[in-house]
Structure 1
Amino acid sequence: MSNSLFTPDMGRRSVLKAGLFAGLGLAAAPSLAACTGASAGGGSAAGAVKWAGWDGPPSSERFVQLSQNLTTKLGAQVTYQQVVGDYLAKLLSQLSAGAAPDAFYVGDIYMAKLIETKQLLDLTPYLDSGNAAVKLDDFHKGLYQWCRPADGGPGLFGLPTDCNPIVFWFNKDLLAAAGVTTDPVAHFEAGTWTQDALTDMLDKIRATGKKGLLVGGGWFDWFGWMSTFGGTIFDESGKAVFDDDAKSQEALAWLFEQLRSGNIAYTGALPQGQSGDTLFYAGQATTYTSGRVILPNVKKLKFGYDMAPFPSLSGKDIMPVPVNTAALSVNVNSKNQAKALEFLGNFVNAEGQKFRLSGGGNAVPSIKGLDEIVTEDNLPAHGKLFNDIAAKGYAVPQAIASNPKVLTELPKMVDQMFKAGNETPKSFSGKLVKLINGAS
């Protein structure tokens, strides 16, 4: 069963959603805030819990089943409301009318605005109560920081439902045809999965006429190349610093060199109708960086495949890389907050995630200790690494998630500079850091 929150083109859709939220969210903020009083009365009737998400079949079928199970467990009627179409616009409309569900999915690009406009319930008292169905320590630490206020204030306003860490997928048949005798995961297991090993592999692939590696323009697509090679992208205060960080600059220099040589292709410059995932599925791209989200499609392919972590400077370490995630939050105006919190805890805890993600799913648990989810059917062969990569990874940085201007302008600037091909690592990063940090 395919039950992920994500699709391979989430980066492109996130940009479009960010533009929508930049208009809707900011303009709607006063009316949203006006609904935060106790009299607004959102959610469902007392003694019942209504929750909303954006997944379609077959995920919605699993959600209905889980709702029925939790109705019995919680002693309250739990109802799933599938939102078809523009989830964000409809959620904002419901919040403005005081008619939003008791609990609902929140995407990474609009969590900050919903916290700012006081639409979400602080989960901290529930998690600290001793009666919660889940503990914060159950989750991988890097996956929920974006659910905190952007200004560093107290509170936690959502918990990650599951996740999709970016990994290095590869076509074993094309690697063999290129004369690559040690594939990426074999390199990793031998402690030799380094930048040089990857470069050598890409050189051999280029000689065959196939595409070696592709990179996109969203933050999710290229931040990982800095962090996997030891770069510091943000300091402890949340300020972007990769323009002055030596390891980040070295990683960008490598990335630009590979783009110039043709070892890496920029997806924004591909012919119309082509994308990284379609090229990989068609056997025209030898490697592809994506999450477990593509597994249902990869299973249908006729060639051998597997996955590995990104390479590292040491050749043996799993380094931090981006992880796509979304959260479940509770409506501050729910008539039944206690049951809504119980529902949330049971939805995201180990039992809830196992129910939702097992049976051929395409997402990765956001909590520890569920290795069996990503090792189902031994596909891919090294699927256990998904959990290890998620444990080290990071979700969308606050400096990006909390700023609609950055959300919309960052990928546009990267697109222009990648296509022009005349930037240095210093000029490239300097322009982007200036945007992220809000310098005039």
Structure 2
Amino acid sequence: MSLSRRGVVLLAASALLMAGCGGGGGDTGAAPASSANAKVTVEWWNISTTEPLKSFWVQKVKEYQAAHPNVTIKNVPIENEAFKAKLSTVTQSGKTPDLYTTWGGGVLKQQVDAGLVKDLSSEAATWLADFTPAALSAYQFDSKTYAVPNDIGMVGFWYNKKLFAKAGITEPPGTWTAYLDAVKKLKAAGITPIALAGKEKWPGHYYWAYLAMRVAGLDALKQAAVDDDFNKPDFVTAGAKLKELVDLQPFQKGFLGAGYGTPDGQAAVMGNGKAAMELMGQWAPTVQKDAGKGLGDDLGFFPFPAVEGGKGNVADAFGGGGGYAVGANAPAAAVDFLKFLSSADIHRQTVETGAVLPVLKGEESIVKDPNLSVVATQLAGASGFQLYLDQAYPPAVGAEVNDSVAALIAGQKTPEQVADAITQVAKSE
């Protein structure tokens, strides 16, 4: 999806809802220094291709341009997977858009190391202070800030309460064994247990990542980034646990060719009541409604279950957020426009659309949607937070995680082969 995705948060997610004074953005009307007397265009690549943000950003661009008649904001929304491919191509040529979506982590770090990203630490110091530390941490390296967050959240299971009840499941499963049992009950009731976008790969990596967290623990995932070793028994066990699920054939027919936000993709299957669950981030209800009909009051949320005997804490969350980086050669207007988007007033409006969760201090009360409130509550009580693996690790390693896990789900790789393939790529980086 245009989301997915998928950002980075390396601190405890409890900081997400940290109380504090409201704020953000300061004066949003000051003219950008470099464009005070000349026409300037800011090219803004983002992944808001679905409602409500698609139209919301169009309106905000109009408002900004009305206040800054010498500035043209070229709003370029690009679907998530296409965005990644397009951005990779331009960064390999040594360029970036003026302002663009980033999820932080290893991908942003490579862009920073290549000198492609503006250091915002000093230029944006006065308004960076308004963000929660957890939200900012994804975009900070060596005590410098290279992007500004716009969203934060976590991945968990979104489920259809009506289909759960039809299958005789009285409460969301709290352990992996209970989860597998729920899948069996759903199948026995003639219900497709899980919707999955097998074609896009990144949704499948959520399963392996969470199982690695529950089996091996957060420290093991962090250590693997240091010693480049995913061949350890716990990572193989994570794959074996996923294979237990795959062997139950829980996904919708044709899932290997399914996209995420397409009319016949994962979100639509879930939103149209054709599957009982999907493992997805906080944006899921919005995309379910956009791609399908949406479930309304029948939609519920539960965290990824514990794995019996695992070293991980069941209260550890997995996910990330989304933010915006400024290209190293972007005009000053790009930073000013980002300041406008990040102001307390505009971000409050963004949160009120229901498409994002707060990243500014003191905004937690804005979240009115009951499902998003559940996510926010889970985050508030999280004992630790792990960034999406395809963002936390260097791009080649993250891509291999996605590819190898997809191969396991397709029955083309064993758990041992998945662990070894990721290790080999990590060691070659």
Normalised by the length of structure 1, the TM-score is 0.68
Q: How many residue pairs get matched?
A: 378
Give the residue type in structure 2 aligned to 1:210: I
Q: 1:105 to 1:399 in 2, by over 3 A?
A: closer
Alpha-carbon shift at residue 305 of structure 1 (Å):
1.6
1:431 aligns to 2:421 (yes or no): yes
Alpha-carbon shift at residue 84 of structure 1 (Å):
5.3
- Match of 2:149, SS state, is strand
User: Which residue pairs with 1:420 in the alignment?
Assistant: 411
Give the residue type in structure 2 aligned to 1:362: A
Alpha-carbon shift at residue 417 of structure 1 (Å):
3.3
- Match of 2:57, SS state, is helix
- Alignment deviations for residues 391-422 of structure 1 (CA, whole Å, 9 cap, x no partner): 9433345886533x445444333333332356
Alpha-carbon shift at residue 432 of structure 1 (Å):
2.0
- Match of 1:200, SS state, is helix
User: Which residue pairs with 1:36 in the alignment?
Assistant: none
- Alignment deviations for residues 268-325 of structure 1 (CA, whole Å, 9 cap, x no partner): 54689964323322323211111232313347337712112212258994212133x3
Give the residue type in structure 1 aligned to 2:380: D
Give the residue type in structure 1 aligned to 2:208: W
User: Which residue pairs with 1:6 in the alignment?
Assistant: 2
User: Which residue pairs with 2:180 in the alignment?
Assistant: 199
Q: Unaligned stretches of 5+ in structure 2?
A: 7-32
1:363 aligns to 2:349 (yes or no): no
User: Which residue pairs with 2:304 in the alignment?
Assistant: 310
Residue identity over aligned pairs, in percent, reads 17
Q: Unaligned stretches of 5+ in structure 1?
A: 12-42, 185-192
- Alignment deviations for residues 81-124 of structure 1 (CA, whole Å, 9 cap, x no partner): 212567674897699799953x4434658534432331221122
Q: 1:291 aligns with which of 262, 273, 281?
A: 281
Q: Distance in 1 between matches of 2:58 and 2:119?
A: 26
Query: Are 2:390 and 2:401, in contact at CA under 8 Å, matched by a contact in 1?
Result: no
User: Which residue pairs with 2:134 in the alignment?
Assistant: 140
Query: Are 1:267 and 1:275, in contact at CA under 8 Å, matched by a contact in 2?
Result: no
Q: Distance in 2 between matches of 1:341 and 1:269?
A: 41
- Alignment deviations for residues 128-174 of structure 1 (CA, whole Å, 9 cap, x no partner): x5xx1132861426x643x356xxx6633112221342121111111
Alignment of 1:37-52 (within 5 A): 45-46=35-36, 50=42, 52=44
Q: 1:303 to 1:61 in 2, by over 3 A?
A: closer
- Match of 2:101, SS state, is strand
Q: 1:397 to 1:122 in 2, by over 3 A?
A: farther
Q: 1:106 to 1:202 in 2, by over 3 A?
A: closer
Q: Distance in 1 between matches of 2:356 and 2:161?
A: 23
Normalised by the length of structure 2, the TM-score is 0.70
Q: 1:196 to 1:60 in 2, by over 3 A?
A: closer
Q: 1:333 aligns with which of 329, 333, 357?
A: 329
Alpha-carbon shift at residue 379 of structure 1 (Å):
4.6
Q: Distance in 2 between matches of 1:402 and 1:435?
A: 10
- Alignment deviations for residues 220-239 of structure 1 (CA, whole Å, 9 cap, x no partner): 45312221445332318544
Point out which structure has higher relative CO (alpha carbons under 8 A, 6+ apart).
Answer: 2
Query: Are 1:214 and 1:267, in contact at CA under 8 Å, matched by a contact in 2?
Result: no
Superposition RMSD on alpha carbons, in Å?
A: 4.4
- Match of 2:187, SS state, is helix
1:235 aligns to 2:223 (yes or no): yes
Give the residue type in structure 2 aligned to 1:393: F
